[in-house]
C-alpha cells in the first residue's frame, strides 16, 4: 500500500510470527498489486445476476481483507496505526454502498459485460473525478481508488500477486499476503525468503516455505510501510524477525550465523546413509511430504524412504480449469519414475479452507466458514466426476510403482464407504477397458485430522488400510485456532493435552487393528516432538525434506524405553506448559 510508506532511515527491526527457519539476506522486493490483466467479455442477459453475484463475493472478500489488515495495524505504534487506520477505513468506505459499487453493478447490467471489466471502467471514471479536483489531497485519492479497484480485480480473477520471475537472484519478497498458490510460483533460485503482513505459522504457505527451505516470517505489522524495494533486509526465520537496512556489524553477525547454519546442515547431511533407528535399535520410517513435483530431488537427497504425503493440490493451482485424468496420470507417473520404486502416498484433493484452487472455484462456492465448509473429501464426494478422474489417474500411475491412496478430512465411516464404492467402480471401468492399473489394488488410508475421526479411530481402523495423522488440522480443529491466522498463532499448540490424547487414541486404535500409522503434520518434522511421538507408539514420520536429517539425528539419540516412559508421564499431565517443560527436559533443552 503505497500511501503507508514512511521514510525511515537506518537499521529497523520488525517482528512477526516464526514461519520457516533459516537466515536470508538480500534486496527487498515489495510486492504491489501492479498492473493487472483484466479480461473483458460480453455476458448474456441471463447471466447478469450471476455476474453481479461474482462481484459481490469479490467485494466481501476485499472487505474482509481490509478489516483483517486494520486489526493487524493496531499492533503498530499509535501514530502509524492511526494514519493507516484512516487509509484502510477510506478503502473500506469505497467498498460499502458507494458510487463505485453502484457504478459496477449498473455497468454489468447496462453494458452486459463481465465484472472485472465493469470494475475497471468504474475505477477509471471515479479516479478521473478525483484527479480533476483542485484540492491536492483529494486529487491524491485517485491512487486509493485504483488500489481498491486492483484489490477487487485480484479477488475477481483470483490472480496471485506475481510470479516473481523477473527479480534478481537472492531477492526477498515483502507482501501483504502470499497464498499457497502464490508460494507455488516462487522459484527458490530467485527468491531467498519472504515476509508478509498476514498469515500464520501453520498455514500452507508456511509449510511450503519450510519445504522449499526458504526462510519466512508472517504477521509483521507495519511491514509494507517499513521496507522499500531495493533495501537490504535480513530475514531471521527462527526468530520471526526482519531487519531492514542493517548496520554493517549486524550484517556481519548474520552472515556469520548463516555460515554456522550451513555448516550444521552439512554435518547433518552425513547422516543420510545411516539407518533411522533409536539408540536401542527401533526402526522409524522417515518419508517426505511433497507440495510440488520439483521437490522430489530434495526428498531423495536427504534419503527419504518414500513420499508419505503427496499434496495433489499443486495440480489444480494457478490454472483456469482442473486437469483431466490423463494429465494427472502423466504428472503422477513422472513422480513415480523419479522415486525409483520407493512408495508414494497420494492424497486425494484437499482444496478448500485457505487452500483455494481457482480452477475449482465454481465447485467450491463461497462457504460461510471455509475451514468448516465444502472441502477435501466432502468436495470429492460431491463432485464425483472430479474424484473419479483423480482415482483413475492414481490407479493407472500405480501400474508403474507402489502407491497408496489417502483420503483427507475424513470424519466418519460413511465417507470411507462411499469412497470405496467409487474406487471399486473406477477399478471396474478401467479393467473393463483393459487399462493397466496397480496390481494389487493400492492400500486405502485416511487422514486423522478431524477430532471426531480421532475419537472414532477404532471404528475407522476397521475400514481402512492405514492412518496418517494430520496434526496441523487436528490441532486447529481441536483448539478452535485458525492455523493461518497470525493473531491467534501464539495459542496454536500441539502440546495441548487434548491434541495429544487424540493422537494417542488414534495411534493405539491403529495398533490394535494392526494397520500402519504415520504422522505427517508439521509435528513430524520438528525434532522437539520426536521423542514424544515415538513414545506414543508412532513408527513412521513424514515431513518437509529439509527437516528430515535433524529428525533422524534426534531419533538416533533416543532410547525407546526412556521415551515411552516419558510419554506416559506427559500423558498424565493436564497443563501444556508442564508438558512442554517435561519434553524439553527429556530433550536436554531445559
Ligand atoms: C495436516 O492437517 O496435518 C496435514 C498434514 O494436512 P495439510 O497440512 O495439508 O492440511
Ligand atoms: Mg490437513
Q: Which atom of ligand 1 is nearest to the CA of 471?
A: 3
| 536 and 420 co-located in one domain | yes
Whole-angstrom distance, CA of residue 5 vs CA of residue 28: 14
**Which ligand lies nearest to the CA atom of residue 354 in the structure?**
1
| 287 and 313 co-located in one domain | yes
54-58, 153-157, 308-312: range with lowest mean pLDDT: 153-157
Select which of 204, 363, 400, 496 is catalytic: 204
Whole-angstrom distance, CA of residue 312 vs CA of residue 355: 11
pLDDT surpasses 80 at 254: yes
| 285 and 301 co-located in one domain | yes
| 279 and 144 co-located in one domain | no
Nearest CA, atom 8, ligand 1:
472
Report yes or no on 3 lying in a domain: no
Report yes or no on 192 lying in a domain: yes
CA–CA distances in Å: residue 267 to residues 261, 290, 554: 10, 24, 14
Count structural domains, the chain: 3
| Known active-site residue 204 | yes
| 21 and 51 co-located in one domain | no
Nearest CA, atom 4, ligand 1:
470
Largest interatomic CA distance in the chain: 81
CATH number, domain with residue 193: 3.50.30.10
- Give residues (CB < 6 A) around ligand 1: 207, 309, 311, 350, 449, 470-473, 520-521
| 192 and 336 co-located in one domain | no
pTM of the model: 0.78
Whole-angstrom distance, CA of residue 158 vs CA of residue 330: 26
pLDDT surpasses 80 at 144: no
Report yes or no on 181 lying in a domain: yes
Q: Which atom of ligand 1 is nearest to the CA of 207?
A: 8
pLDDT in tens, 512-523: 999 999 999 999
What phi and psi, each to the nearest 5 degrees, are found at residue 63? -60, -45
Report yes or no on 6 lying in a domain: no
Q: How confident is the model at residue 34 (pLDDT cuts 50, 70, 90)?
A: very low
pLDDT surpasses 50 at 4: no
Report yes or no on 215 lying in a domain: yes
| 223 and 286 co-located in one domain | no
Q: Where are the beta strands (DSSP E) in 441-551?
A: 444-448, 466-469, 517-519, 540-544
Whole-angstrom distance, CA of residue 511 vs CA of residue 201: 31
- Bridge-based pairing of strands 285-290 and 23-30 is unpaired
Nearest CA, atom 9, ligand 1:
311
Q: How confident is the model at residue 6 (pLDDT cuts 50, 70, 90)?
A: very low
| 136 and 168 co-located in one domain | no
Burial class (CB in 10 A: 0-12, 13-18, 19+), 357: buried
Task: Indicate the DSSP class of residue 96.
Answer: S
| Residue that finishes a domain, picked among 248, 265, 282 | 265
CATH number, domain with residue 377: 3.20.20.60
- What average pLDDT does the segment 193-221 reach? 90
Report yes or no on 409 lying in a domain: yes
Whole-angstrom distance, CA of residue 19 vs CA of residue 195: 9
448 C-alpha to ligand 2 centroid (Å) = 9
Report yes or no on 255 lying in a domain: yes
C-alpha cell at 550: 535433524
- What average pLDDT does the segment 146-173 reach? 79
| Residue that finishes a domain, picked among 135, 156, 177 | 156
| Residue that finishes a domain, picked among 265, 280, 300 | 265
Whole-angstrom distance, CA of residue 180 vs CA of residue 205: 5
Report yes or no on 134 lying in a domain: yes
Residue found under cell 508472517: 218
189 C-alpha to ligand 2 centroid (Å) = 28
| 205 and 247 co-located in one domain | yes
Task: Indicate the DSSP class of residue 26.
Answer: E
How many C-beta atoms surround the C-beta of residue 197 within 10 A? Answer: 23
The residue range of the domain holding 411 is: 272-586
Q: What is the mean pLDDT of the chain?
A: 89
| 491 and 552 co-located in one domain | yes
Whole-angstrom distance, CA of residue 79 vs CA of residue 504: 49
C-alpha cell at 440: 494389487
52 C-alpha to ligand 1 centroid (Å) = 35
Q: For the chain, how big is the Rg over CA atoms in Å?
A: 25
CATH number, domain with residue 110: 1.10.274.10
| Known active-site residue 520 | yes
Question: How far from the centroid of its chain's Cα atoms is residue 427's Cα?
Answer: 32
| 308 and 208 co-located in one domain | no
In testing the pocket of ligand 1, which one of 521, 526, 542 has its CB within 8 Å of the most ligand atoms? 521
Whole-angstrom distance, CA of residue 522 vs CA of residue 542: 9
| 93 and 211 co-located in one domain | no
Q: How confident is the model at residue 97 (pLDDT cuts 50, 70, 90)?
A: confident
Amino acid at each position: 500500500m503505497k500511501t503507508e510508506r514512511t521514510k525511515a532511515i537506518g537499521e529497523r527491526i520488525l517482528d512477526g510470527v516464526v514461519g520457516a527457519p533459516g537466515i536470508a539476506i538480500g534486496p527487498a522486493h515489495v510486492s504491489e498489486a501492479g498492473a493487472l490483466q483484466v479480461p473483458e467479455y460480453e455476458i448474456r442477459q441471463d447471466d447478469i445476476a450471476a455476474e453481479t453475484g461474482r462481484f459481490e463475493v469479490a467485494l466481501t472478500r476485499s472487505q474482509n481483507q481490509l478489516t483483517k489488515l486494520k486489526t493487524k495495524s493496531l499492533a503498530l505504534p499509535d501514530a502509524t496505526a492511526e494514519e493507516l487506520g484512516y487509509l484502510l477505513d477510506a478503502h473500506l468506505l469505497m467498498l460499502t454502498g458507494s458510487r463505485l459499487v453502484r457504478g459496477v453493478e449498473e455497468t454489468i447490467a447496462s453494458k452486459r459485460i463481465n465484472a472485472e471489466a465493469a470494475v475497471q471502467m468504474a475505477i477509471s471514471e471515479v479516479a478521473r473525478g478525483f484527479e480533476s479536483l483542485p484540492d491536492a489531497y483529494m486529487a491524491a485519492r485517485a491512487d486509493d481508488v485504483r488500489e481498491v479497484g486492483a484489490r477487487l480485480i485480484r479477488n475477481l480473477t483470483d490472480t496471485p500477486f506475481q510470479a516473481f520471475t523477473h527479480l534478481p537472484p537472492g531477492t526477498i519478497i515483502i507482501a501483504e499476503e502470499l497464498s499457497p498458490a502464490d508460494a507455488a510460483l516462487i522459484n527458490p533460485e530467485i527468491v531467498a525468503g519472504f515476509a508478509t503482513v498476514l498469515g500464520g505459522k501453520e498455514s500452507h504457505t508456511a509449510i511450503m516455505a519450510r519445504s522449499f527451505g526458504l526462510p519466512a516470517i508472517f504477521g509483521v505489522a507495519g511491514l509494507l510501510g517499513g521496507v522499500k524495494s531495493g533495501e537490504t533486509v535480513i530475514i531471521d526465520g527462527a526468530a520471526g524477525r526482519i531487519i531492514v537496512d542493517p548496520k554493517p556489524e549486524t550484517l556481519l553477525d548474520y552472515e556469520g550465523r548463516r555460515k554456522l547454519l550451513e555448516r550444521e546442515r552439512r554435518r547433518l547431511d552425513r547422516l543420510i546413509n545411516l539407518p533411522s533407528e533409536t539408540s536401542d535399535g527401533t526402526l522409524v520410517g522417515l518419508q517426505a511430504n511433497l507440495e510440488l513435483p520439483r521437490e522430489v530431488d530434495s526428498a531423495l537427497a536427504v534419503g527419504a524412504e518414500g513420499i508419505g504425503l503427496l499434496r495433489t493440490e499443486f495440480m489444480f493451482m494457478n490454472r483456469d480449469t482442473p486437469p483431466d485424468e490423463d494429465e494427472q496420470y502423466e504428472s503422477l507417473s513422472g513422480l513415480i519414475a523419479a522415486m525409483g520404486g520407493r512408495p508414494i502416498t497420494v492424497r486425494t484433493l484437499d482444496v478448500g479452507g485457505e487452500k483455494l484452487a481457482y480452477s475449482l472455484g465454481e465447485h467450491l462456492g463461497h462457504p460461510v466458514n471455509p475451514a468448516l465448509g465444502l472441502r477435501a473429501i466432502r468436495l470429492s464426494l460431491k463432485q464425483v466426476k472430479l474424484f473419479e478422474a483423480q482415482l483413475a489417474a492414481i490407479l493407472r500411475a500405480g501400474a508403474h510403482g507402489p502407491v497408496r491412496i489417502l483420503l483427507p478430512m475424513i470424519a466418519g465411516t460413511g465417507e470411507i464407504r462411499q469412497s470405496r464404492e467409487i474406487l471399486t467402480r473406477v477399478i471396474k471401468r478401467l479393467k473393463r477397458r483393459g487399462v493397466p492399473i496397480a496390481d494389487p489394488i493400492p492400500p486405502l488410508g485416511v487422514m486423522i485430522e478431524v477430532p471426531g475421526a480421532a475419537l472414532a479411530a477404532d471404528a475407522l481402523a476397521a475400514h481402512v488400510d492405514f492412518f496418517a495423522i494430520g496434526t496441523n488440522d487436528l490441532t486447529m480443529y481441536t483448539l478452535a485456532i485458525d492455523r493461518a491466522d497470525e493473531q491467534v498463532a501464539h495459542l496454536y499448540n500441539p502440546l495441548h493435552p487434548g491434541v495429544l490424547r487424540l493422537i494417542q487414541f488414534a495411534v493405539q486404535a491403529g495398533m490394535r487393528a494392526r494397520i500402519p500409522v504415520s504422522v505427517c503434520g508439521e509435528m513430524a518434522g520438528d525434532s522437539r516432538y520426536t521423542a514424544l511421538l515415538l513414545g506414543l507408539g508412532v513408527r513412521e514420520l513424514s515431513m518437509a525434506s529439509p527437516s528430515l536429517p535433524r529428525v533422524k539425528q534426534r531419533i538416533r539419540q533416543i532410547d525407546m524405553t526412556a521415551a515411552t516412559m516419558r510419554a506416559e508421564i506427559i500423558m498424565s499431565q493436564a497443563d501444556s506448559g508442564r508438558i512442554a517443560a517435561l519434553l524439553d527436559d527429556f530433550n536436554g533443552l531445559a
